[in-house]
Amino acid sequence: ENGNRDNSRGALIVLEGLDRSGKTSQSTRLLSYLEQQGFSVESWRFPDRSTCVGEMISSYLANKSQLDDRTIHLLFSANRWEKRSLMEMKLRSGTTLLVDRYSYSGVAFSSAKGLDVEWCKKAAERGGYGGERYEQLEFQRKVAQHYKMLCDATWKIIDASLPMEDVEKQLREFVMDCIATCQIGKPLSQ
């Protein structure tokens, strides 16, 4: 049993990226891989549209309601806070969490300004773009620029335009390292 050794916490793995970059597919594949390896692991996503706050966000994203920019920013944030204690509990008990978007999306999407048109075009070719409020090429270009400014040593950047298997392999290797580090006893910071 890899996931629940005494004193070991779970890893918090956050998948960030532009809309239609393949995070959700990769998250699903990674979940089954880690489960097969015997780890205690769960897949989460934000926004979590199942809560009351999540329903307001979902309606906003579908252009069914209008909200002030600061108001929607705070709703996204509240939506993460409402899962915070459960998240900490899971991590402390040794469960690794794969989270499809987290607070980095809050910064990158709410304050987007910038570059990287080619990459955005590739993401757009995958189809489905334009269904929701933020899924516009020009806006995604700005989000990409903002993500770049947020990167630090805890991030692993994976080129989502590579074949799906290559993305999957890189992601697995990185995540296995993260889980190993947590098991050496890196405490959960406050």
Residues interacting with ligand DGP, by CB under 6 A? 19, 46-47, 61, 73, 76, 101, 105-106, 109-110, 132, 134
Q: Does 19 bind Na ion (CB under 5 A)?
A: yes
Q: Which is closer to Na ion, CB of 33 or CB of 139?
A: 139
Minimum CB separation from Na ion for residue 45, in Å? 8
Residues 98-117 close enough to bind Na ion by CB under 5 A: 101, 105
Q: Which is closer to Na ion, CB of 38 or CB of 131?
A: 131
Q: Does 27 bind Na ion (CB under 5 A)?
A: no
Please give the Cα distance from 129 to 60 (Å, whole number): 17
Residue 97 bridge partners (DSSP): 12, 42
For residue 96, what is the enclosing H or E element? strand 96-100
* Partner touching 134 among ligand DGP, Na ion, none, CB below 5 to 8 Å by kind: ligand DGP
Q: What letters, b where the CB count within 10 A reaches 16 and e where it falls short, cover 76-91?
A: beebbeebeeebeebb
Report residue 94: phi and psi, to 5°: 100, 5
Q: Does 142 bind Na ion (CB under 5 A)?
A: no
Binding footprint of Na ion on the chain (CB under 5 A): 19, 46-47, 76, 101, 105
